[in-house]
Each structure stands twice: as C-alpha cells, then as structure tokens.
C-alpha cells in the first residue's frame, strides 16, 4: 500500500515537473516574442518618426471621451514643445502656440467638423515666439458611434513654412513685374490720352476764340435787343460746347485712372461690354493708323474677373497687334476680336493679319523679358504678365498660334 502511494506521488511530481518545464519553455518563448515585438514596435516608431521628420509632418489623436490628447514626437517639434515634459493640458499648450488671429478660426473649424461629421483641411499660423511664425496645414477626421457621438479624432499637422514663404515671394515678384509692365505701358497710355485730348482742346480753343472775336469785332450790336439776344444765344451755345468737352476730357482721365487702380477683388462683369470698353480706351490710337478693328462678340455672358487686370491683357494684345501691322506695313490691316462660349468656358480670340510670329520665337513669347522689339525698348514683360494675370488671377490660360496671314491669341477663362 505504501509503495502504491509512493508511486502515485512520484507520478504526480513527474507530471508537475513536466508541466513546469513546459510552462518555463512557453514563458521563455513568450518573453522572446514580447522582446521581438517590442523591438519591432520600437523600429516602427523610429521609422515613423524619421519619416515624419523628413516630411516635417506630425500626427495626433484626441480621445474625446477621456479628453486625452496624444502627439507624435514630430508634432511636439513643430509646435516647439518638449515631448519629455508632462504638460497639465496639452490642448491648452496647443492653443497657446496658435497665432492669436487664427485661434478662433481653428476652434470653429474643428467644432463645425464635429457638427457636420466631416473631415477638414485647414491652414493656420503658429506664433513660436515674438519673432518666429510658422505656417502649418492640418488634416483631421473623427469617428462616431451609431448614435452620432464623437469618439476619437485623428489628425496630421505639417509645417509648410518654407513652401508658403516661397509662394509669398513669388507672388511679391509677380506683383512687382505687374507694376513694371504697367509702367512700360504708361508711355503708350499717355500718347492715347494726348491724342484723345487734341480734338476736345481744339474745339474748346475754337469756341473761346469765336466768342472773343465776336466781342472784339463787335459782330453783335448789344444796344439792339434782337442782336443782343442773338449774341447771348451764340455765347450760350459756345459755353455749352466748352462744358461738354471739358466733361469729355474729365471722363478720359477718369477712364485711364481707373485702369491703373489694381482690382483687389474680382467683379461680375459682362465680357462683351468689357471688350468694347477696353477698345474705347485704345480705339482711336488704332484707327489713326488705318487699322480696322472688327468685332464678333457672341459670349453674351457675365464673368467673374479682376476687371482692370483683364483689360490690361486685352490692351497689351491689341497694342502688340497694332505694332506688328504698322511695322510690317500691312495693306488692309485688320484686327478681329471674337468671343464665344464652349460648355463652362469663355474664350476671347484676338487675331491680326500682320504676318504671324516666327517659328523660333513662338514658343518663347510668354517667357519673362523675352522681346522681339528690343530696338523699340520692348521690356519683354507684357505677354509674360498677361499669362500670369490669366493663369493666377482667373484660373485660365492664354495661348497663341499662327493662322493663314497672321497670329491669333486665345484666352480661356471660366464662365461665371
């Protein structure tokens, strides 16, 4: 009996030892697996941090139920905060880093995204210190439960300071070139004004001389009522003519002054009416050269544009066509201005019969400072700025091609 019990005890101990040995082996495997998993997680985190560092982009997670905000290391770096510090409220630190002028917009955008249950993309500024400002772009989306309660928001934030400053510098350069381009046209504009003033000034001078001569030569007997009435009628007619021409002179100055005021905002304008208005500024300058301007205006629509800048493009194309026709001494010189609509796009074509553009130049004429009229003090900015105005201000394009007897410039913008 005693031997049986001893054998049972030995058997049980053997089983326990086997089980313990098996558990130890499994524990060792588990420890190794955990170690490998931790190592892998560490590598993944390091790789993620390195990737985020290279792209200058950080990530964040906001647990709305527990109000727990978590940032990646790169997010701390973008916001200029220490990832090793245990901040009382990371969200408050986040708000404190946003530029004071942008804080409300950031808050309202996030609130609206929760209300509308939509993701958002937002650019805003960070005030890192008194002298340093960063530009960032944030992407965010939120998960919701079946009842529509917001659960977790996920987001990324990227430092776009370098790219933004670069765009600002390019924009500043383009504005400077636009100013240069307008100054380059000033001489032509002054010539237009002078020409349009000649006739009114001549008429005013003639009317004034007529009144003076009538008085000095005593053409009217002021002692006679009938003759005096005729003199008053004659004088009033001349004064009315002078007043009318003075108003005309004033309107000419107003038109050209308005043209040189840059449009800060786009306006809704009838395209065909704008073409005619532009031609009124330049029409006499062209007509005195014997060039005929033909119109084929079929757009009959409104466009959302920077009016004066768009007029500058049309004037530049008309002036280039005029100079080409005059330079080449073209008989029966013509310029045709055509407008039409294709689907959601509006087109303006300005064609001439001036012989076209040479093959070696046609691909370069929209480049800055490229000019075929350097001997005539051409700046090479007119067509370049026309391209900038149409592309950047109106999200359109401008192109050129040779036609049978000349060149055709084609402007495309969106219909409003």
Last residue of a domain, one of 159, 175, 209: 159
pLDDT score of 158? 87
Q: How far apart are CA 404 and CA 311, in angstroms?
A: 27
Note whether residue 13 is domain-resident. Answer: no
- Give the contacts of 138 (CB within 8 A, at least 6 positions apart): 106, 120, 121, 122, 123, 124, 155, 156, 157, 158
| Residue 281 C-alpha from the chain's centroid | 27
Q: Do 175 and 139 have their domain in common? A: no
CATH for 372: 3.30.565.10
Note whether residue 22 is domain-resident. Answer: no
Average pLDDT, 10 consecutive residues per value, the chain (416 residues): 68 72 71 61 53 70 88 86 86 88 91 91 84 85 90 88 74 67 60 64 78 80 82 83 74 60 72 88 76 91 85 86 90 94 93 90 77 51 78 88 93 86
Q: Do 245 and 353 have their domain in common? A: no
Last residue of a domain, one of 208, 233, 261: 261
Q: Do 175 and 252 have their domain in common? A: yes
Q: Do 153 and 170 have their domain in common? A: no
pLDDT score of 218? 79
Give the count of domains, the chain. 3
Q: Do 273 and 410 have their domain in common? A: yes
Q: Do 52 and 112 have their domain in common? A: yes
Domain that holds residue 136: 48-159
Q: Do 289 and 303 have their domain in common? A: yes
Q: Do 180 and 151 have their domain in common? A: no
The residue among 39, 359, 382 whose CA lies nearest residue 187 is 382
Contact 177, 366 (CB under 8 A): no
CATH for 184: 1.10.287
- Give the contacts of 58 (CB within 8 A, at least 6 positions apart): 52, 71, 72, 73, 74, 75, 76, 77, 78, 156, 157, 158
Q: Do 143 and 211 have their domain in common? A: no
- Give the contacts of 327 (CB within 8 A, at least 6 positions apart): 354
The residue among 195, 194, 409 whose CA lies nearest residue 320 is 409
Q: Do 178 and 323 have their domain in common? A: no
- Give the contacts of 129 (CB within 8 A, at least 6 positions apart): 80
Q: How far apart are CA 64 and CA 152, in angstroms?
A: 6
CATH for 58: 3.30.450.20
Q: Do 391 and 403 have their domain in common? A: yes
Contact 140, 134 (CB under 8 A): no
Statement: the pTM of the whole predicted model exceeds 0.85 = no
Q: Do 241 and 272 have their domain in common? A: no
Contact 57, 74 (CB under 8 A): yes
The residue among 389, 372, 371 whose CA lies nearest residue 380 is 371
Last residue of a domain, one of 217, 232, 261: 261
Q: How far apart are CA 279 and CA 311, in angstroms?
A: 9
């Amino acid at each position: 009996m005693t031997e049986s019990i001893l054998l049972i005890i030995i058997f049980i101990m053997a089983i326990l030892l086997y089980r313990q040995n098996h558990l130890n082996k499994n524990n060792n495997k588990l420890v190794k697996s955990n170690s490998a998993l931790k190592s892998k997680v560490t590598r993944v985190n390091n790789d993620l941090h390195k990737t985020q560092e290279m792209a200058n982009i950080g990530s964040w997670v906001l647990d709305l139920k527990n109000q727990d905000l978590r940032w990646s290391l790169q997010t701390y770096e973008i916001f200029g905060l220490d990832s090793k510090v245990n901040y009382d409220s990371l969200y408050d630190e986040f708000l404190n880093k946003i530029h004071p002028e942008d804080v409300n917009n950031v808050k309202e955008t996030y609130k609206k995204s929760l209300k509308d249950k939509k993701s958002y993309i937002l650019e805003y500024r960070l005030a890192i210190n008194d002298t340093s400002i960063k530009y960032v772009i944030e992407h965010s989306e939120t998960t919701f439960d079946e009842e529509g309660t917001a659960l977790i928001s996920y987001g990324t934030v990227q430092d776009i300071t370098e790219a933004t400053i670069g765009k600002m510098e390019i924009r500043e350069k383009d504005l400077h070139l636009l100013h240069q381009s307008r100054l380059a046209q000033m001489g032509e504009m002054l010539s237009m004004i002078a020409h349009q003033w000649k006739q009114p000034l001549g008429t005013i001078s003639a009317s004034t001389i007529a009144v003076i001569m009538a008085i000095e030569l005593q053409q009217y007997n002021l002692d006679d009522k009938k003759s005096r009435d005729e003199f008053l009628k004659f004088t009033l007619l001349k004064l009315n003519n002078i007043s009318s021409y003075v108003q005309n002179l004033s309107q000419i100055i107003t038109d050209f002054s308005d043209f040189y005021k840059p449009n800060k905002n786009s306006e809704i304008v009838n395209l065909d009416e704008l073409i005619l208005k532009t031609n009124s500024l330049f029409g006499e300058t062209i007509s005195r050269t014997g060039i005929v301007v033909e119109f084929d205006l079929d757009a009959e629509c409104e466009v959302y544009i920077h009016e004066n800048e768009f007029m500058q493009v049309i004037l530049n194309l008309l002036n280039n066509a005029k100079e080409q026709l005059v330079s080449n001494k073209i008989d029966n010189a013509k310029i045709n201005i055509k407008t039409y609509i294709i689907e959601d796009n509006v087109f303006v074509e300005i064609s001439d019969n001036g012989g076209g553009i040479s093959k070696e130049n046609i691909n370069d004429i929209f480049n800055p400072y490229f000019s075929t009229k350097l001997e005539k003090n051409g700046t090479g900015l007119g067509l370049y700025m026309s391209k900038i105005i149409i592309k950047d201000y109106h999200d359109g394009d401008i192109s050129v091609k040779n036609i049978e007897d000349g060149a055709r410039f084609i402007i495309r913008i969106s219909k409003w």
